[in-house]
Structure 1
Amino acid sequence: MHKLLTTTAALLLAVAGQPARAGDPEYPAKNIPASLKENAHIVKRLEETAIRINDLTDMRINRHYVVTVLDEAGANDARLVVPYSKLSEILSISGSLYDAEGKQIKRLKQSDIKDLSAVDDGSLMTDERLKAHQFYYNVYPYTVEYELSERVYSTLWFPTWMPQSDIDCTVEQSTLKVTTPADFTLRFRSYLYNGEPVTTTDKGTKTYAWEVKQIKALKSELNAVEFYRRTPAVFLGTTDFELDKYKGNSNSWKGLGAFFYQLNAGRDVLPDATKAKVHELIDGLHSREEKIKTLYKFMQRNSRYISIQLGIGGWQTFDAASVATKGYGDCKALSNYMMALLKEAGIKSNCVSVKAGENAHTIREDFPSSQFNHVILCVPGEKDTTWLECTNPYLPAGYLGGFTDNRPVLLLDEKDSKLVRTPVYGMDFNQQIRHINATIDSSGNMALSAVKVTSGLQQDDLRDAIHRLSRERQLELLRKGLGLSSYDIVDYSYKELETATPAIEEMMKVKGNNYATVTGKRMFINPNIFARDGVKLEPDSSRQSDIRLNMAYRDVDSVEIILPVGYQPESVPTPVSLSSKFGNYSATVILKGNTVTYIRKMERQSGTFPAAEYPELVKFYGGIYRADRNRLVLVKE
């Protein structure tokens, strides 16, 4: 299932084209308008995408495009990559290379096209392959032209039309035409496209046409929304579709979910030995929660994630008996297996299709279609719902993590498939609480011990590092994250806490060389030892994208520093308190005798905020940046 999104996205970037036309068109770079060169690395001079739907199992996609590469940074974007599998066929590929003047200097030879397996580290076996080609040329600017043709044997998914492939890609002209039988229902959803497509009818067919011209480069904007919401894009779909002789309807989420449910129905039968093991594990347990946790741990310890994608296998799961016997499966297979274990225990659960990824919190909810790349498990309860990520052997039961949290997902059910939402982990859940005790000598050197407890989404990366990386690699990442100029880690340890919220406690001892700056009689100390991670944002009055903050969190640092004797305060930072719709921040420094106490608290909200509020975000983070770097000034008596 995780291959679906990759295949669908790649289809747009490198699907088929029109038959080669007589004569070689010339595209001199000097003809590109100056406005389309500004902030651009590549210019899409021409793109013509034509899709013809003959029936539910025969879709032809032709694509002809011309791209001018302005500099080295755009070279990789001019590569040709065309995926295919048992569900699609590449009919033809042709191409040419032109110099800056538009003179053809090379034609694509079929022998230059590489035919590669699309297998990755997580796949044991796949029939997905790709054809790839690149004109290795480095005299800029230059232009490449490709024409491609492909046949797809399903109408479950369509290529997306998004002429601007990235912020540094500009577009002179791009067109999309979709031709269907006259009685065929084509569904589409557009973003930032003015007006409706032009429609025409001819001899029992209907054609829809979209066109854009003169699209300029976009700016890189921090915490921007999804790219398809920032540039013209059209998503396509059908009402009825067919996949490898299985027919479905995607006019509603209920209909699409019913298709996937039926595709995998009856594949949750366990071997007798596994059924016996289930009862051996849970028959002495009384609570539903204990049974779920016990079976989840059993599944985690006795199976592993590995992908096998052959034909319809990207959508249809291996049966539970295969996973029980072989000990591995992909996300669908492991979730289905876990569902079968719970079924044997008398606990109902549902597989759930999800668009996974730390920055993939939305789907087009008003456009039912195959937008998912992963499967997890939902265990409904009378009061609480338990969510299970079945591909990760280290997560506690009931916790999903940032890979699938806080997003709409499609719950698959025989009678009532629907969009539901995965858990939202709020500020009280995602915390980092740190206590530091430090001593600074008269030379400015520092010795400290610190205890930090990180919970919720804030501990995801740390948990992954603990279980997947060597001790040496863990320490390497720790050193990079401390932010001290010169130091030695004397000791470091950690433990995973048995708490309701997933949490990890870290303990460390550090010696910092010349942490405090000593100049003559004065000593300059920043009491904020580890939390100087504020971002200094640049003002941008022309911000276009809304602001997306995905995770709410709270960080609290309590620092106690013992100073060398013989120093008196000359300047002590005043308390700072900042408040905005994006969060709250406070920092206080108290000096009593030769002891400095520093308390820093940072709370950030999550959500999507209008672009017009970006100046307030700049002001908020600017205040934090300055406060985090305030220094205590001491003078020697």
Structure 2
Amino acid sequence: MKNLLYIVLILCIQEATGQAREFARINKETLTVDIKGQERLQVTNEYSITIYNEAGYSSAHFIDYEDQFRKLSSFVMIIRDKAGKKIKSIGSGKIMRFSLSQSFETGDANYVAVDPEYKNFPFTVEVTAVFDQKGFLNLPTWIPRDRFNVSVDASTLKVVIPFDYRLRFKEENLKSHNVESINKGKSNLHSWTVKDLSAVERDVTYKSFIEDQPKVYLAPSSFVLDGYVGKMISWEGFGDWFLELNQNRNTLLPGTMKMLDDLPNDDVETTVATLYKYMQDRTRYVSIQLGIGGFQSLPAKFVDERGYGECKALTNYMKAMLHYKGIKSNYILAKAGQDASNIKNEFPSNQFNHVFLGVVDNQDTIFLECTSQTIPPNYIGTFTDDRHVLWVDSARSQIIRTPVYDENENVLKKNANLNLDENGNANLDLDVNYNGIFFDKSSLFNTYTSEQLDDYNLSQFDYRDFTITNFEVDQNVNLAELNCKYTLEIQNLAKKVADRLILVPAMLQPMDFYIHPNEFTRYLEIRRGFTLDETIIVDLPENFRVDVKPESEAISTQFGNYEINISYELNKIRILRKVIIKKGSYEADTFDAFLDFKKKIEKLDNQKIVLGKKT
């Protein structure tokens, strides 16, 4: 009972003083990276962490990974109570292992995890874990404080290298680098230490939190992976290693070569489109990450025979067909993901998780995302747009930036015809045209089951009581354009007050559907600008007229523009609404200004259109 009162008292003091709550404390941590040569590496992580409450219990778990090249060779976890008395010791026999791969993937990477299974707070966990690696492409990144509400008393990174090995590193937010000679001059020890890092409250985004942390990125200068020698001191060297790893894997089946021989000699753009469609119709994505296969493509003949492969295999297959037709193409290595952070292009290293293809055609580049069976050529979507990537070319690999989809391309256009009855109920015929990044939704329509699609369509509308009576979808196979048609029956769309009906202009979707500012963190990032363009025609009930109609309005700011125009003629209301939101990151004062912009839009969106009966 006293412990509970003590914890409550501490929390109250922290709340009153604005001090961050402390769920756990790293008492001491040492991460040692011992590079024994181009092919051997040992990583030792020793730490002691005190867990104060249930909220910090996740920090008591040990979680790491193994694969064909990286194995856990030694492990011990010791649990101590609040007085420092040893409660139990957990060895490697208690480690849980489960696959890193998803259900549609095949791989040899596994999580290794240990749960201390002790919750008599506070308690301390001491861990020593040793990993041995044979061959390495990546080195650990040291981030002493990588979680909210966890403080750090002391944390040290040690890197041991042969005296003639060049260590490559990039520091951020610290300057504590020290170098000394050890092992009688046979090795050099690089070290960094931080002390007294207080806990940080979860009132900022994790992205901004992690950007502010002291950290050290490491990368090899030279390495050997499964017999393939590589250098990483430049992007050119890394690109050459990737090319060597994937060379001589472009043999196709005789039937495929005959098909290619029979194709007409069209221009590059037409031939690329024809082969891209051929590949999409014959293949599907299945990730296979066994051994060096995490970096090396399966042979084109494998994909040709079986009709499946992961991103490298499908990209290599497409590349092989283009090569057979005499069209040069280039691998493009990317850090993929809709919200993925950008790579550090000034620090050559393996920062990539995806590969796709580029074809230079005169002054233009055709980008080919080879894992999709439905998108058109030269559309990469939010998966790899607007970021630095590595264009792989023999002795000339370089960082380029992928296309940006902005508010002029990312257009969601809606045309609605709404038939309103005298009780406020409505029949809605809605055409929706998706362009730019909105086209990403096509993957949903092509992969969802009928039940999933029904749930998705219902989620697209904000009405309290409605039924979707018809839905049709049509995709332009040559352009990144998607068209959907909906028919809805909506109950009480207009609010009935006595013999009047009340509508609002934004009757399709509110702004909250597209933008979600977090007023707690006061941070908002619009990664991709977009435009909403709506035309709504409302057929009024017989014997009704417009009694109150809002005036047309326009807003122009640094964040975007808004325009609404409402007209009434021949028993119809015409609403033209256009919202343009620009790309940007907003915090503090600019966040407040953006929020004010959004609130002005919502105020105009919710003006009242009042309908009354004709006398």
Q: Look up the match of 2:358.
A: 378
Q: Look up the match of 1:152.
A: 133
Q: Look up the match of 1:161.
A: 142
- Code of the residue aligned with 1:558 in structure 2: it is T
Q: For 1:135, which of 116, 120, 123 is the aligned residue?
A: 116
Does the residue aligned with 2:511 lie in a helix, a strand or coil? Answer: coil
- State the distance in 2 between where 1:105 and 1:521 align: 76
What per-residue deviation string (whole Å, max 9, x for no partner) do you get for residues 467-520 of structure 1? 1112221121111120111111111111112553x1111111111111222233
1:503 aligns with 2:481: yes
Q: For 1:486, which of 465, 469, 482 is the aligned residue?
A: 465
CA distance change for structure 1 residues 119 and 444 in 2, over 3 Å: closer, same or farther?
same
- Code of the residue aligned with 2:247 in structure 1: it is A
- State the distance in 2 between where 1:220 and 1:83 align: 30
Q: For 1:549, which of 506, 526, 534 is the aligned residue?
A: 526
What per-residue deviation string (whole Å, max 9, x for no partner) do you get for residues 415-471 of structure 1? 2111122222222221111011112222221211111111121120x2111111122
Q: Look up the match of 1:476.
A: 455
Q: Look up the match of 1:355.
A: 335
What per-residue deviation string (whole Å, max 9, x for no partner) do you get for residues 306-344 of structure 1? 222222111121221222122222111111111110011
Q: For 1:446, which of 414, 422, 426 is the aligned residue?
A: 426
- Code of the residue aligned with 1:48 in structure 2: it is T
Once the two structures are TM-superposed, the CA of residue 141 in structure 1 deviates from its matched residue by 4.9
- State the distance in 1 between where 2:397 and 2:18 align: 46
**Aligned-residue RMSD, C-alpha:** 2.8
Q: For 1:629, which of 584, 603, 606 is the aligned residue?
A: 606
Q: Look up the match of 1:7.
A: none
CA distance change for structure 1 residues 142 and 515 in 2, over 3 Å: closer, same or farther?
farther
In the alignment, is the contact (CA less than 8 A) between 2:74 and 2:92 conserved in 1?
A: no
Q: Look up the match of 1:308.
A: 288
Any unmatched runs of 5+ in structure 2?
Answer: 1-5
Alignment of 1:550-629 (within 5 A): 550-565=527-542, 567=544, 569=546, 571-592=548-569, 594-608=571-585, 613-629=590-606
1:217 aligns with 2:200: yes
- Code of the residue aligned with 1:232 in structure 2: it is P
In the alignment, is the contact (CA less than 8 A) between 1:68 and 1:142 conserved in 2?
A: yes
Once the two structures are aligned, what percentage of the paired residues are identical? 28
In the alignment, is the contact (CA less than 8 A) between 2:80 and 2:125 conserved in 1?
A: yes
Does the residue aligned with 1:55 lie in a helix, a strand or coil? Answer: coil
In the alignment, is the contact (CA less than 8 A) between 2:27 and 2:49 conserved in 1?
A: yes
In the alignment, is the contact (CA less than 8 A) between 1:491 and 1:510 conserved in 2?
A: yes
Once the two structures are TM-superposed, the CA of residue 131 in structure 1 deviates from its matched residue by 2.0
Point out the more displaced range, 569-578 or 360-369.
569-578
What per-residue deviation string (whole Å, max 9, x for no partner) do you get for residues 189-226 of structure 1? 122x232413333332322222233233254546x756
- Code of the residue aligned with 2:198 in structure 1: it is I
Q: Look up the match of 2:3.
A: none
In the alignment, is the contact (CA less than 8 A) between 2:237 and 2:395 conserved in 1?
A: no
Alignment of 1:67-82 (within 5 A): 67-82=49-64
Once the two structures are TM-superposed, the CA of residue 68 in structure 1 deviates from its matched residue by 4.0
Alignment of 1:194-273 (within 5 A): 194-202=174-182, 203-204=184-185, 205-212=187-194, 213-221=196-204, 225=207, 228-273=210-255
- State the distance in 1 between where 2:212 and 2:386 align: 22
Q: Look up the match of 2:491.
A: 513
Does the residue aligned with 1:295 lie in a helix, a strand or coil? Answer: helix
Q: Look up the match of 2:167.
A: 186
Q: Which has the higher contact order (CA 8 A, sep 6+)?
A: 1
Q: Look up the match of 1:19.
A: none
Q: TM-score, normalised by structure 1?
A: 0.87
In the alignment, is the contact (CA less than 8 A) between 1:532 and 1:629 conserved in 2?
A: no
- State the distance in 2 between where 1:375 and 1:58 align: 27
Q: For 2:446, which of 451, 467, 472 is the aligned residue?
A: 467
- State the distance in 2 between where 1:630 and 1:171 align: 53
What per-residue deviation string (whole Å, max 9, x for no partner) do you get for residues 354-405 of structure 1? 1110012511011110000011011111121111111111111121111111
CA distance change for structure 1 residues 278 and 154 in 2, over 3 Å: closer, same or farther?
same
Once the two structures are TM-superposed, the CA of residue 172 in structure 1 deviates from its matched residue by 3.6
- State the distance in 1 between where 2:179 and 2:549 align: 71
- State the distance in 1 between where 2:516 and 2:225 align: 50
Q: How many residues align?
A: 600
- State the distance in 2 between where 1:377 and 1:303 align: 16
- State the distance in 2 between where 1:359 and 1:186 align: 31
Does the residue aligned with 2:192 lie in a helix, a strand or coil? Answer: strand
- Code of the residue aligned with 1:472 in structure 2: it is E
- State the distance in 1 between where 2:82 and 2:527 align: 44
1:58 aligns with 2:40: yes
CA distance change for structure 1 residues 333 and 498 in 2, over 3 Å: closer, same or farther?
closer
- State the distance in 2 between where 1:579 and 1:69 align: 51
Once the two structures are TM-superposed, the CA of residue 616 in structure 1 deviates from its matched residue by 2.2
Q: Look up the match of 1:293.
A: 273
